Amino acid sequence: MDEFQHLQKEQETQNGQAYGQPPQQGIQPVAPQASMTQNAGYAPVSASEHRGGMSLIVTVVAVLAAAAAVSLVSILIYRGVASSIAPRSEQYADFNLSVAESPQTDTTIKSGDTVLTAAQIAAKVRPSIVGVITTDNVNLNGAESGEGSGIIIDADGYVITNSHVIGDSTKYDVSVITEDGKSYAAKVLGYDTRSDLAVLKIDAKGLPAAEIGDSTKLVPGDYVVAIGNPGGLQFAGSVTDGIVSGINRIIDSSDSDSTSAMRYIQTNAVINPGNSGGALVNAYGQVVGVNTSKISMTYYEAMSFAVPSSTFTEVVHDLIDYGYVQGRVKLGISCSVLSDAYENQGIPAGLQIREISSESDLNGKAQVYDIITHCDGTRVKTLSQLQDIMFQKKPGDTITLKLYHPASATKAAKEYTVKVKLLEDKGATD
């Protein structure tokens, strides 16, 4: 679904697009505009144009009658060449725009503070946010091919970021830039395309590690802050805020197994290209999510998504210990949801199979366009309902599916049951 965008800053190179340019379909990186600071609709005027315009104005005004002298004075004041001219009226002579003294925001977290202000959250978490630069020295002649964000999760140099920030690979050169500007070569300990997470290791000690919070405690309406590097290092440590808009949101990419679709925190905190791998922080200054994607379509606003800490804490340990995530299962199919509206046509609601992979145990047992209606005797109409059952399984386990085969021109519709062995879902690896 091309409406979903990853938030990595992709840059053009001499050889065309940066590494790993995705196809038009699916979750895509966002390319930055030519100038991120250009004012829309503003055409700069050169100094010579100003001088030429002034000469014309003075020439024209000089031939006017003396009664037009006031107009001349007004024009000169507007152009800034007659600053010593008296005020236009005594009526405003006493006007003076004063600036009040503003107190300095106190970002110190005092004993007893629980819920923090945005400024306190930023002061606490920003030192833990890093820049992640990925370079393809083989194909791009050393050109910077991607900039994103990362989070220091351990003082001994462990950093978490998005898998797409490092090109979903271990073959690229990756460096980490800490808040104090120091640059470190990073080793990719592992990455996982399903969760879009990667773990990096840099040779450093005593780093300011972020405090990790429990994302399962979040509820819609909770205050959150997003911290990262929109646009890359130029805007490093940018802070935006919002609320939790939803939890357990499923985003299904067209290039993945639908039954492996991830669940995310949805928020309206503004995130942009370069925020990938940055932190979503709760009101207590704890990282509860890793920002990863947003919906970017006409008529859609402020729909951003983060991998919850309940997911990334498990993924991180497996990536460090094994280089991939263990114990996850998949059916090896992609499918779409058929709502109850189709039941008026005699077609049951459920999950309609769109594709069956060559490794799936459903090969030869089911067909594309068949509809899954039950799993282990439980009625399923949504991906969430099917996943809730599969999350309790391990690779090699067998589940029982009940399916509906639609009628054709030569055959009547039928229901049937099959047993299917679940595959291990390791995510894509090198």
Give the model's pLDDT for residue 40.
Answer: 30
| Residue 37, domain member (yes or no) | no
Same domain assignment for residues 256 and 344: no
Q: Is position 252 annotated as part of the catalytic site? A: no
Residue type, 335: C
Same domain assignment for residues 249 and 154: yes
Interatomic CA distance for residues 153 and 83, integer angstroms = 57
Q: Is position 164 annotated as part of the catalytic site? A: yes
| Residue 106, domain member (yes or no) | no
Same domain assignment for residues 60 and 80: yes
Spatial neighbors of 111 by CB under 8 A, at least 6 apart, are none
Same domain assignment for residues 77 and 200: no
Same domain assignment for residues 257 and 170: yes
Interatomic CA distance for residues 58 and 143, integer angstroms = 52
Give the model's pLDDT for residue 298.
Answer: 79
Same domain assignment for residues 184 and 208: yes
Strand partners, 262: 251
- Of 294, 326, 358, the residue at which a domain comes to its end is 326
Tokens 């470190």 found at? 184
| Residue 38, domain member (yes or no) | no
DSSP label at residue 285: S
- Domain boundaries, position 391: 329-424
Give how many domains the chain has, as a whole number: 3
Same domain assignment for residues 415 and 301: no
Same domain assignment for residues 68 and 8: no
Interatomic CA distance for residues 385 and 285, integer angstroms = 33
Give the model's pLDDT for residue 74.
Answer: 41
| Residue 239, domain member (yes or no) | yes
The pLDDT tens digits along the chain (430 residues) read 444 455 544 333 333 333 333 333 333 333 333 333 333 332 333 333 344 444 433 343 333 344 444 444 443 333 444 445 555 556 666 666 767 677 777 788 777 778 999 999 999 999 999 999 999 876 655 555 789 999 999 999 999 999 999 999 898 999 999 999 999 999 999 999 889 999 999 999 999 999 999 999 999 999 999 999 998 899 999 999 999 999 988 875 544 455 556 889 999 999 998 999 999 999 999 999 999 988 877 788 889 999 999 999 999 999 999 888 888 899 999 888 898 888 888 899 999 999 999 999 999 999 999 999 999 999 999 888 898 899 899 999 999 999 999 988 888 899 999 999 999 888 766 6
- Of 326, 356, 377, the residue at which a domain comes to its end is 326
Give the model's pLDDT for residue 244.
Answer: 95
| Residue 318, domain member (yes or no) | yes
Strands 28-30 and 4-10: what pairing?
A: parallel
Same domain assignment for residues 120 and 249: yes
Strand partners, 244: 267
Interatomic CA distance for residues 120 and 110, integer angstroms = 10
| Residue 57, domain member (yes or no) | yes
Interatomic CA distance for residues 96 and 117, integer angstroms = 34
| 3-state DSSP assignment of residue 39 | coil
Give the model's pLDDT for residue 166.
Answer: 94
Same domain assignment for residues 321 and 344: no
Q: Are 151 and 290 in contact (CB under 8 A)?
A: yes
| Residue 317, domain member (yes or no) | yes
Query: Given 168, 196, 241, 425, which residue is catalytic?
Result: 196
Give the model's pLDDT for residue 141.
Answer: 58
Same domain assignment for residues 361 and 410: yes
| Residue 95, domain member (yes or no) | no
Residue type, 29: P
**What pTM value is reported for the model?**
0.70
Query: Given 6, 136, 145, 164, which residue is catalytic?
Result: 164
Query: Given 256, 276, 293, 309, which residue is catalytic?
Result: 276
Instruction: Phi first, then psi: give them for residue 87, nearest 5 degrees.
Output: -55, 155
- Of 326, 358, 390, the residue at which a domain comes to its end is 326
Same domain assignment for residues 317 and 285: yes
